[in-house]
Chains A and B, each alone.
Chain A
Amino acid sequence: MRGGKSFRLLILVLLSEFLIFSWAHAETPPQVIRIGVAAEGLGGRQYSYRLSLDVVRAQQLLEKEFASSGTKIEWHYFKAAGPAVSEALASHQVDFVFHGDLPSVIVRSTGIRTRYLLPLYARSNIYVAVPIKSQIRSVADLKGKVVSNFRGTATQLVAARVLNSVGLSERDLHLVNLDTAGANAALATGQVDGAFVMFNSFGLKDQNLIRYVFSSDWQPRFSAVGGLLVTEEFAKEYPQSVDRFVKAVVQGAWFAGKPQNRQAVYDIWAKSGIPEDYFVREYKGQDLRTVLSPLDDDFIVAKYRAAAADALKFGLVRKPVDLNGWIDRGPLNRALVTLHLEHFWTPTAADGRPAT
């Protein structure tokens, strides 16, 4: 009865496939997915910049991905950046967030349970700006001065590292908590002696209102990173949706990483109100494939470990933060396989150089 045996085998295979198929599709997708973004455009514009997520938004990749399941996508932008997103997490108002490294680590040290999925930007640059008439010539001159610092954000951590590199600590300065807009305004009018800013201050420089005394020049050790996180409860209840979400983000990062799309990415980022020319100047010589790499490679792991360690060192968290089990590579790896992008990005080693 050879035919019968193989027939029974066939039935068994088909049955098990059917069972697996139905189990895999057992999840009812959520009605709405709420995304919290720790950034905002100029003048309240509901767009961010510097992220691969922006491409996802502009090209409606998430909306398209979830159209079939009727899930609504809600985008929430927070002018008050990282800390405001942390509050949103605490009050269960968001499911997925974009969060800088410092606020993510701080949230991890509280009882709020999140999973880290992938980075949305892996390199950043910082400047120290002073009013044009200032006598300050270097970071060391900031000692004892009134300096603007957006507390609780990734920028604060980078600032602390920069200060540390010249032997200063936050306590040596008078730090005012001002957001990006406040910092720019305060600099332009000479209300503060200095500020840690990003390239969105180029306009002030062009108008000769400020001067840069330091630029981190994209050095990996002074770079912040920011990533996509999901709440533990959402991930438990909708694992498939997490996979689909990550897939869409990887698609966006892939688009952004292709050299021929560089200008298109700048145009997308310009929706935030930041002039497109600023992006050209800032990202000159930088490969967007590296900057916007979504890989959870050794570099990213090292970056977050460093964030946790530095946060403790500089007194920004009060007890050591345990990052074990926080990074969930599953959705990313599955997305890379599905999209056949396993080799598009080169993993970076912990020191910032491409892994061999």
Chain B
Amino acid sequence: MTDLSQWAQSGARPGLRIRRPAFSPAVASGALKRLRPLLGWIVPAVLLLAWWAAANSHLVPEEILPAPATVAQAFSTLITSGDLQSNLLIALGRVAYGFGAGALAGLAFGAGMAFSDGFARFVRPTFLIISQIPVLAWLPFLMLLLGIGEALKIVLVAKSVFVPVALSTFAGIRGVPVRWLELARVLQFGRWKTLRRVVLPAALPQLFNGLRYGLTHAWMALVVVELLASYEGIGYLMIYSRQLFQLDVMVAIMLVIGAVGLLFDRMLALGEAWLTRRYGGAS
């Protein structure tokens, strides 16, 4: 069950060319394959050029789309004043804590559900309820409970991480092929050894997938919460600039948000690749 079709179905991108797609032009030409990463830059370059041209020719008014130069200026101001660094650090810190807490809880919960049918039955409806109510719907209620401080952000980030991780862990562990478990019994692996040598490697891809989802959701949840209830952080910078109609700052912050999201994705893709190379996964 832990084959790649599952990866595809869960929406994860295979990332670093772990598996060649069924039909791809790059397969045919080696040169094209080497050029491929460069070719990917063409469209962004064209867009940047178009942006610069539109702003320069005043086709698009400044109050709708600020010129690249102004945005760059806003960037440098944010950096020299230290605002960007301090707020970004705070936001990342929140993600770190929230992700850590949510991932650990999710792993534990998912494993618990996978190993104990009774536990799964007991918690299933509650889990469903919590998972189906999105972060935004929880916000007013939790704002009341936890105030506008760190706790609110971390709890909401943790919630957004918890659900995908728990589900992926559950699916991953439950998805270990029965043959493998039988083999482990035949080879007289102890419980611990079975876990380490059989269950974990088999479940790893699915687990990682959950973590990847979790991180994406964590970042998204953090941005939302900081938009609506915060006095520092990246979302805070965005709302600050939005309210004061400082479009260049808004664009700058948006680029930062995108860049961080991209970075997270890349990081986890690399981690996934490394782990798969080491532990092989199911074949």
Interface residues of A (CB under 8 A from B): 83, 86, 90-91, 103, 106-107, 110-112, 146, 151-153, 174-178, 182, 185-186, 189-192, 316-318
When C-beta atoms are compared, the residue in chain A nearest to B239 turns out to be A177
Q: Is the CB of A110 within 8 A of B62?
A: yes
Having A111-B61, A152-B243, one finds 10 other A-B pairs with CB under 8 Å, namely A83-B244, A111-B63, A151-B243, A151-B244, A152-B242, A152-B244, A174-B232, A176-B148, A190-B147, A317-B244
Q: Complex Cα distance A111/B148, Å?
A: 36
**Which residues of chain B have C-beta atoms less than 8 A from A152's C-beta?**
242-245
A175–B231 contact, CB under 8 A?
Answer: yes
Query: Across the interface, do A86 and B245 meet the contact criterion of CB distance under 8 Å?
Result: yes
CA distance A90 to B61 in the complex (A): 9
Task: State how many residues of chain B have any CB contact under 8 Å with chain A.
Answer: 21
**B residues in contact (CB < 8 Å) with A:** 61-64, 143-144, 147-149, 229-232, 236, 239-240, 242-246
A90 touches B231 (CB 8 A): no
Is B61's CB under 8 angstroms from A177's CB? no
Q: Which 3 A-B pairs have the closest CB atoms?
A: A152-B243, A151-B243, A174-B231
Asked if A192 contacts B245 (CB within 8 A), the reply is no
User: Who on chain A is nearest to B58 by CB?
Assistant: A111
22 examples of A-B residue contacts, CB within 8 angstroms: A83-B243, A83-B244, A91-B64, A107-B245, A111-B62, A112-B63, A146-B149, A151-B239, A152-B242, A152-B244, A153-B243, A174-B232, A176-B148, A176-B231, A177-B236, A177-B240, A177-B243, A186-B148, A189-B144, A190-B147, A192-B148, A316-B244
Q: How far is the CB of A133 from chain B (nearest CB, A)?
A: 14
Nearest-Cβ distance from residue A183 to partner chain B, whole angstroms: 11
Q: How far is the CB of B75 from chain A (nearest CB, A)?
A: 14
A106 to B247, CA, bound (A): 12
Q: With A110-B62, A112-B63, A186-B148 in contact, is A176–B245 under 8 Å at CB?
A: no
| Chain B residue with the shortest CB-CB distance to A91 | B64
Q: Which residues of B contact A103 (CB under 8 A)?
A: 245
Q: Is the CB of A191 within 8 A of B64?
A: no
Q: B141 to nearest A CB, angstroms?
A: 11
- Contact check, B148 vs A191: say whether CB atoms are below 8 A apart: yes
The answer to whether B244 and A106 touch across the interface, beta carbons within 8 angstroms, is: yes
Cα A189 to Cα B152 in complex, Å, equals 15
Q: Which of A107, A153, A191 contacts B147 (CB 8 A)?
A: A191
Q: Looking across the interface, which residue of chain A has its beta carbon closest to that of B62? A: A111
Inter-subunit contact A146/B245 (CB<8 Å): no
Quote the shortest CB–CB distance from B136 to chain A (angstroms): 14
Q: How far is the CB of B58 from chain A (nearest CB, A)?
A: 9
Interface contact A176-B229, CB-CB below 8 Å: yes
Q: Is the CB of A83 within 8 A of B231?
A: no
How far, in angstroms, from A177 to B245 measured CA to CA in the complex? 14
Check if A146 sits within 8 Å of B244, measured CB to CB.
no
Do B64 and A90 touch (CB < 8 A)? yes
A169 CB to nearest B CB, Å: 14
Query: Across the two chains, which residue of chain A brings its CB closest to B247?
Result: A110
* Interchain CA distance A152-B63 in the complex, whole Å: 16
A115 to chain B, nearest CB (A): 17
Chain B residue contacts of A110, Cβ below 8 A: 62-63, 245
Closest to B74 in A: A318
Nearest-CB residue, chain A, relative to B246: A318
CB of B62, distance to nearest CB on chain A (Å): 5
Residues of B within 8 A of A112 (CB): 61, 63
Query: Is there contact, CB below 8 Å, between B231 and A106?
Result: no
Q: Do A151 and B240 touch (CB < 8 A)?
A: yes
Contact of A83 with B242 in the complex, beta carbons under 8 Å = yes
Which B residues are in CB contact (< 8 Å) with A191?
A: 143-144, 147-148
Chain A residues with Cβ below 8 Å from B236 are 177
* Bound complex: CA A178 to CA B240 (Å): 11
